[in-house]
Homo-oligomer: A and B are copies of this chain.
Amino acid sequence: MTLKEDLYRRIKGLQDKMLANDCDAVMIVQNVDLYYFSGTMQNARLYVPAEGEPLLFCRKSLTRAANECPWNIIPTNNYKYIPNHIKEMGYQWPKRLGLEFDVIPVALYQSVQRLFPDSTLLDASGWIGDLRTVKSPYEIAIIKAAGKKMADAFGVVPELIRPGLSELAIAASIEKELRDHEHQGLSRMRGFNQEFFYGHFLSGSNGCMASFNDGVTAGMGMGAFYPQGPGNRVIQVGDPVYLDYVGVFDGYNVDQTRLYVIGVLAHRLRYAFQVALEIQEMLINLVKPGMMASELYDTALKIADKAGLSHNFMGYGAERVRFVGHGVGLELDERPVIAPGFNIPLEAGMVIALEPKFVLPGLGIAGIENTWLLTPNGVEKITVLPDDIATIPLA
């Protein structure tokens, strides 16, 4: 159950944004934002006026919403009654009404416009995205526990990776291990057309194959219909194995990448891994509240350049992505993006995944990813599993 004081602070934060932007109200519709601002993820719409208490219009389940949400709950079987309720309850009519333009479909937007024909609809998604970057002590405690569960679950992974088994078969065992640690299964992403299922279990040089997704790696996946993650390739002696996995516990995502090798890792992959560690070390020593996310990216790129790996940094050639990290929280793809042009100052309480990685076609992927909490003085490691490459014994 989300702390009441967190919900109050979040609503206040949103209202501050509204007042600064001449917005009369925001209507929250998307499930993750609903949970963030109301404590419940039921079939509901949260109407947040620029001043005063929010109203939760709820279709179902009322029982659950009432248990989880401290705001005034208005039962309804049709959201078309929302304007009437707002009028009847004496709320000011919203001349300017904010919506989550980054996620709500056009058809839903049009239905809201029909309900508020004389209102100007405007985009509130930037305000929401910014508010969600800084985590509360309550959220940080959940995220730290998630990092520990990931480390616990991954303790057995070296025993699960065996030559002769397919990527998918080993991934199935890792998924069961995570689930036994209460992984929620589904990892939520905000980006349109983005999806993620537990992790990228990538072996050998196949792992270098890029795909539609906004990440560094993808892998072959199971076919054109599911073009990322583990596939049917059988693990061989000598394979580098790259595991970019997301732990989702109590609603919160933590992001972690580790390397495994069955036998001896190719020299160039080992070199690239050392450079990735060097970048990670430099970034966590550098990062301080107040600095720009883009500075971290520039620093990482410089080290990759100096190491002669700029063409392999964060992808290969034309398929490189231009970031070295991202915020995580209730969604996997949160702000800030550690990327050029992202000039919003970092703050204590942000939780970011830093993932310096190199794609070496024909060889495989080398890199590291950890989730970090930004503190007033630097960072604290969330994904506490040791960074080292784990060597899988041959027999």
A188 CA to B110 CA, complexed, in Å = 24
Q: Number of A interface residues, CB 8 Å? A: 69
Say which one of A36-44, A81-89, A336-344, A381-389 lies at the interface with B: A36-44
Residues from chain B with Cβ under 8 Å of A104 in the complex: 105-106, 192
- Indicate whether A29 reaches chain B with its CB closer than 8 angstroms: yes
Say which one of A12-20, A47-55, A168-176 lies at the interface with B: A168-176
Residues from chain B with Cβ under 8 Å of A186 in the complex: 195, 197, 226
The complex is assembled from copies of this chain, and their number is 2
Q: Tell me the minimal C-beta distance from A54 to chain B in angstroms.
A: 17
Residues from chain B with Cβ under 8 Å of A226 in the complex: 41, 184-186, 251
A209 CA to B60 CA, complexed, in Å = 11
B60 touches A225 (CB 8 A): no
Residues from chain B with Cβ under 8 Å of A229 in the complex: 185
A2 CA to B195 CA, complexed, in Å = 21
* Given A195-B186, A212-B43, A319-B61, A99 and B106 contact (CB-CB distance below 8 Å): yes
B1, B63, B108, B179: the one contacting A175 at CB < 8 Å is B179
- Indicate whether A107 reaches chain B with its CB closer than 8 angstroms: yes
Residues from chain B with Cβ under 8 Å of A123 in the complex: 106-107
- Indicate whether A109 reaches chain B with its CB closer than 8 angstroms: yes
B172 touches A179 (CB 8 A): yes
A222 CA to B181 CA, complexed, in Å = 12
Closest to A231 in B: B182
Residues from chain B with Cβ under 8 Å of A63 in the complex: 209-210
Residues from chain B with Cβ under 8 Å of A318 in the complex: 60, 77
- Indicate whether A156 reaches chain B with its CB closer than 8 angstroms: no
Interface centre among A30, A44, A103, A222 (most CB of B within 10 A): A222
Interface contacts beyond A60-B211, A101-B107, A223-B251: sample of 10 additional A-B pairs, CB < 8 Å, sorted by A: A43-B212, A61-B209, A61-B212, A68-B224, A101-B106, A102-B107, A105-B105, A169-B180, A176-B176, A225-B250
A211 touches B175 (CB 8 A): no
- Indicate whether A238 reaches chain B with its CB closer than 8 angstroms: no
A180 touches B172 (CB 8 A): yes
Residues from chain B with Cβ under 8 Å of A377 in the complex: none
* Given A2-B224, A106-B104, A193-B29, A179 and B171 contact (CB-CB distance below 8 Å): yes
